[in-house]
Structure 1
């Protein structure tokens, strides 16, 4: 590819305009933006978006996107007119549950470095006098939030891009995507064909249609969302000018799925308090055929009736007003509420930036520009990556149902462990029937039904000694989980590990391929297992893997998800010397862990499972009874034991064989809740939660998995200048003083009263009898003995930085 690639951006909405600005600012000026409608009111979602920019989110990434949008648009003008009004944001609570929720949201922003404050009802009304003080219990104020003028911001960025050489072509309808082999070569329109090295679809809710032309699934659903403007209010008379439009904070009444903004002397109201209204893209008019905006559908007054009553209750000044105009505006929703970003898996050079609201538009555009030009975005985007989905998550019925549910839940109070209600029963391990017989309580992840604890264990004597916890942390938890953790430490337990993604890499080039992509030494004898990392070129931790060498040219990888498969596939050599395939569906795994694990498995096999005969981080093929297995001596819970794999058809037999053999030893089935507690006691990291591509291995405490002396590997150059002992931040364990205080993750951590970091994973350590929270802290504070505080629902919980591992530091329990 030439140093100055030809880039074609499809769509001149806010995202396409922002991306063209970010690309040209970085020196990529051969940019053509194709738009099917006029410039710049193109007819898409940007044309009618109310422009509210709220930064609070449980996602650090989404908050960073929104914060950059605030920063960029605040400094942006168009012909002397503002593009962003920093009027602030106000979220009100009318229920005790919402009052607690805004405390949690305040904690998120503190964690992510955005200033905010909690207000009393009196203070809230002082900020927004239209709010009825009697209706609210408190509020949450974010001074830097505000209103973006989407069309102005888009045009202002487009003009800058055009000054640098970009061109914007209206009334060009895309009719096809050209390619040669597996690479994009151009975009076909009704006005001609445009050659391209890179194509980026920023088509908004038309994105699935563009994706279909490229053979790429773009899993989003266009949904209609109601927005109205009231008649003039006497209470707003003289408060705002036509030029400024608004002066009071944008307002969210999430208990009733409503938001509000000023339009001079009127109030604009957006409502999610109605049935989901999915729209077929084929039913949306082309901009040339629409008398108004094709994304603005007829207002359905009956859907707004209940919301209007709620509006007048919160804002009594509306009693004198009426709904003067309204429409149902189309926006893009995804199954998990996150954008779709990245390069298509099957067509090189074809990228998407879809399902992006004005709130996050500049941040997404910056990340996309960095990704395209530098090879990786500086913000971690794994939650947004187009390739994050499993195959079943691309089914049209799944996308429709989950996206509609996302609409319903957009303002709901959601627990971190709360599973989707439907569709369920999508992926079942071979042990599922046995688990149901044991009273498994299932939560869902990536479609898998995963036991979190078993009601069959409710009579274990260990249950009585498990301490209680607060109301929030008690949800989706049972003291039975604590008993399961203790029994694992005392006897032996069986864990279903089937949901772990398993990849097989084979071929004469497999070793060299994996040696280059990972950080640890893999050139070891057959039967060796290695913990290693995938890095970005920047040295950030893209994933962590366990890789077992099962043959000279065959490796089995324990991966974190579809993004790992995508990464490996993209780096395959062209000569066909390496093959990668996902073997998860055809296999299953049981973790057998605890001090009696060897007593359980050894009588079932002639293979030597002794410590000397079957060392730690080794793998063997064996038979357990009649079942052929691959056993790997690994332990994510810090106890003696094995991950035992077999084919899916043998899964039930494997479970029954182990279960029957373990009865005399007091074996139990144990779930994910116990598993998470045990792994935190050992300090084992969870990629995507504890560490991401934003962190290097030394910061994350996994520098032991890097072998700089092994030769070249992806990301090595970025690590060469880093002193492992002098990194600026570290991931460290905290021990909370309050025995019943269990935090959930993403809470702010304070040092000397000032926010300094945030919690990643947390759990109660039943063996230690202490509550554990792992957190990112600056180097000066990441020292054992440092006293900190964790912000939790408005409280500050005292904690101390501890040495790790917290449990069995000499590894005597694993290596015996």
Structure 2
């Protein structure tokens, strides 16, 4: 690698940070044809001194999150094609084994296999204790119950990979400038103009913040509050072990050795040596292992969270000062300090699993830093309100290759892609965060909690219980508390999942609610089913305040709304229309309900939860001059009264005629509910007769009370998100972020009816191609399980024999249908109604049949 000390005066793109993320991004951008990329870093190159320098580089590909697995799989293939400075392949494909020391962990490893099959990992398998020790002879097989084996897992040195990536990027025109600290990013009218460094200024069009543990610091200087939290974990390397004597390696002749030693000291003799046997993870004790020649490396997350203040982080210097490494805290290795593992110290756990390490000296040991985010996923994409400012933070070596590819495609072509297919990054988008998440108080606590649970067995419906709760309250919060709501946190909102006050409904509906046990019974209550059935047969009231709401205002608002939307948006005042917003690649960016409130004002209603803010940012980014886009989520309380008796309830308190003739479906009116001003839409996500009611937040609690009081004679009941998910999936209504996202175009998603190709909208060219059937290799399919008592959860593979053909996007038991309803995407020949498939779930195969949708009309 031959970086330059001469700072260029201009560039198209400046990448701040030359670690594994910055090098991957420069590699990908230059591969897409850019030759005006400049990468700057405060440290030397390729050993910048960040996390990429100290990381042991182990790559376990399989994760519960699809995008992390896809990123890792791409990274593995990319690193396998790289040639290190020594002429050898950069990636060490030695396989990876995760062992179980408990029955609960064995169940988890079975899910690992199912996740691996769902996400396309090659040959994931369960091993017996004997099969583990065949591959890892130093493991005490009496300590384990079995293992998960992924043959293509392995290890890559961050330094070797950075060097190889940077060399190829430089051959295509990129420039790398070490020993250069960033002082500021200069903007004009919200657009990037230049990067100011200690050595001078680079005029540029784009800046990418790829500084990992330093991302929060740089963000704060730019008034961008990134919840990226530095956390420490421990890594140690034993003295030479006689049992590994045949694996001893002298690495001092490696071309990068002296550079590495200048930053990392003598431990470079170990860190630069790749493993010669499978990497190992003992998640029950939050430990991981790899060999370094004739020594074993031992990594530990098995201690209380250590969260340094970002303002106190040091920098990286050529004299060996490494800002991402802190002094080893012996106490955390020798004592049990992890809140969830109070009975066994990390060193003891290690010595039990690998007896060969017992009593051996730990020659090299340090606390290395990496970054955590509120949901454990990267922080990527263009920052709202700053034209040309991008982020790429919270990304591990394991995922950096895939993340770099997806981000480069996003920057160059407008849509994230991986392996020539779109990949949805909604849950990794930098704009997903709410205002409170930018505070250090929140980022510190939740970053620490993400560290705590990183190796825990986490249920997909698990929510925070202690830290940073009760932040955002809808106006109906106190009513929910009085009705003993089970409150879950969603984007900071305290939202009811079900109401314990509705337990008496089980006497009426309990015989239609199958019992559950095992994994699917966690974070579930039969009350959810009773609430759903009550809506179908009677009437219910749901708080939907947290759903994202936007107002688009201006004299040309109608033209802009048409540009955003796939449907014909020539609406009269009071009209309501369901439509889609697509990105430039034709992927569904959001499904929304649009209401024309007045001549120059439109109300856009879209998904809430974690991904809703992405939609607001996307609309604002595309708004022309003269158009105002207001996020009115918090200023409008919202609720829906729905069910066969909804009209009877609301007619008692509304001062308008609610008949079909006077108030048709998909129309809106403004009126009073007693003394509360309301904008009402005759629509319902539950799929029953109903009205969504919107009012300024200060009126919300009173409106809720008015409706409940009016509904007493009909036994109206509030219902939570659990029932809403049941109701919507029975009706075939999509949930953006789960069974609908940017990886699907409208025709794949079965929503072609919401497209009018006689109008012009973003992504139309790609949508037109999809309408002709071009490149359609999967279509939405609605399945029901043949076993009417069974339930499965999302992210498990749909199988044809031993061949995965898709995965479960969303699943809920449909209590009106009388079966578990599953939404997935399958090859077109499998998506035909009547087709029989199987779903692999918790080690069992469940027969399922493709059905006509909707199941309820």
> Which consecutive aligned stretches of 4+ in structure 1 deviate over 6 angstroms post-superposition?
none
Aligned to 1:401: 445
Aligned to 1:767: 816
- Greater mean alpha carbon deviation, residues 736-745 or residues 692-701: 736-745
Partner of 1:658, secondary structure, is helix
User: How far has the Cα of 1:325 moved from its partner?
Assistant: 1.9
Aligned to 1:310: 349
The correspondence for 1:557, drawn from 593, 599, 604, is: 604
User: How far has the Cα of 1:738 moved from its partner?
Assistant: 2.2
The correspondence for 2:41, drawn from 16, 35, 38, is: 35
Contact 2:53 2:158 in 1 (8 A): yes
Normalized against structure 2, the TM-score is what?
0.92
Cα distance in 2, alignment partners of residues 180 and 550 from structure 1: 35
Q: Is residue 2:323 matched to residue 1:294?
A: yes
Aligned to 1:14: 20
Q: Is residue 2:185 matched to residue 1:177?
A: yes
Partner of 1:267, secondary structure, is strand
Q: Is residue 2:576 matched to residue 1:570?
A: no
Cα distance in 2, alignment partners of residues 531 and 319 from structure 1: 65
Q: Is residue 2:760 matched to residue 1:712?
A: yes
Aligned to 1:88: 95
Q: Is residue 2:485 matched to residue 1:440?
A: yes
Q: Is residue 2:268 matched to residue 1:221?
A: no
Cα distance in 2, alignment partners of residues 298 and 290 from structure 1: 17
Note the 1:644-723 alignment, pairs <5 A.
644-709=693-758, 711-723=759-771
Partner of 2:672, secondary structure, is strand
Note the 1:211-610 alignment, pairs <5 A.
211-239=219-247, 241-242=249-250, 245-288=274-317, 291-305=320-334, 306-378=345-417, 379-421=423-465, 422-460=467-505, 461-465=507-511, 466-560=513-607, 561-574=612-625, 576=626, 578-610=627-659
- Greater mean alpha carbon deviation, residues 120-129 or residues 336-345: 120-129
Aligned to 2:7: none
Contact 1:698 1:724 in 2 (8 A): no
Cα distance in 1, alignment partners of residues 40 and 670 from structure 2: 57
Contact 2:44 2:318 in 1 (8 A): no
User: How far has the Cα of 1:36 moved from its partner?
Assistant: 1.1
Aligned to 2:144: 136
CA-based RMSD of the aligned residues comes to 1.5
Cα distance in 2, alignment partners of residues 311 and 171 from structure 1: 39
Cα distance in 2, alignment partners of residues 148 and 396 from structure 1: 33
Cα distance in 2, alignment partners of residues 778 and 171 from structure 1: 51
Contact 1:47 1:293 in 2 (8 A): no
Aligned to 1:812: none
Partner of 1:503, secondary structure, is strand
Partner of 2:651, secondary structure, is helix
Q: Is residue 2:801 matched to residue 1:756?
A: no
Cα distance in 2, alignment partners of residues 46 and 645 from structure 1: 50
- Greater mean alpha carbon deviation, residues 664-673 or residues 726-735: 726-735
Aligned to 1:619: 668
Contact 1:548 1:557 in 2 (8 A): yes
Normalized against structure 1, the TM-score is what?
0.96
- Greater mean alpha carbon deviation, residues 62-71 or residues 201-210: 201-210
Cα distance in 2, alignment partners of residues 137 and 103 from structure 1: 12
Query: Compared with structure 1, are the counterparts of its residues 5 and 751 closer, same or farther at alpha carbon in structure 2 (3 Å cutoff)?
Result: farther
Cα distance in 2, alignment partners of residues 242 and 559 from structure 1: 59
Q: Deviations over 1:422-466 (max 9, x none)?
A: 211111111111111111111111111111111111122234211
- Greater mean alpha carbon deviation, residues 289-298 or residues 753-762: 289-298
Contact 1:703 1:724 in 2 (8 A): no
User: How far has the Cα of 1:326 moved from its partner?
Assistant: 0.5
Q: Deviations over 1:180-210 (max 9, x none)?
A: 2211111111111111111112122112222
User: How far has the Cα of 1:383 moved from its partner?
Assistant: 1.4
User: How far has the Cα of 1:174 moved from its partner?
Assistant: 1.0
User: How far has the Cα of 1:764 moved from its partner?
Assistant: 0.6
User: How far has the Cα of 1:218 moved from its partner?
Assistant: 2.4
Cα distance in 1, alignment partners of residues 315 and 800 from structure 2: 56
Contact 1:83 1:150 in 2 (8 A): no
Query: Compared with structure 1, are the counterparts of its residues 468 and 678 closer, same or farther at alpha carbon in structure 2 (3 Å cutoff)?
Result: same
- Greater mean alpha carbon deviation, residues 253-262 or residues 602-611: 602-611
The correspondence for 1:637, drawn from 681, 686, 708, is: 686
The correspondence for 2:72, drawn from 61, 66, 71, is: 66
Q: Is residue 2:233 matched to residue 1:189?
A: no
Partner of 1:33, secondary structure, is strand
Aligned length: 802
Contact 1:233 1:320 in 2 (8 A): no
Cα distance in 2, alignment partners of residues 368 and 695 from structure 1: 19
Q: Is residue 2:28 matched to residue 1:26?
A: no
User: How far has the Cα of 1:5 moved from its partner?
Assistant: 6.3
Contact 1:431 1:652 in 2 (8 A): yes
User: How far has the Cα of 1:509 moved from its partner?
Assistant: 1.1
Structure 1 unmatched ranges of 5 or more: 809-816
User: How far has the Cα of 1:289 moved from its partner?
Assistant: 7.5
Aligned to 2:260: none
Aligned to 2:112: 105
Partner of 1:806, secondary structure, is coil
Contact 1:5 1:28 in 2 (8 A): no
Cα distance in 2, alignment partners of residues 320 and 426 from structure 1: 48
Cα distance in 1, alignment partners of residues 15 and 489 from structure 2: 37
Q: Deviations over 1:462-520 (max 9, x none)?
A: 34211112321111111111111111111111111111111111110111011001111
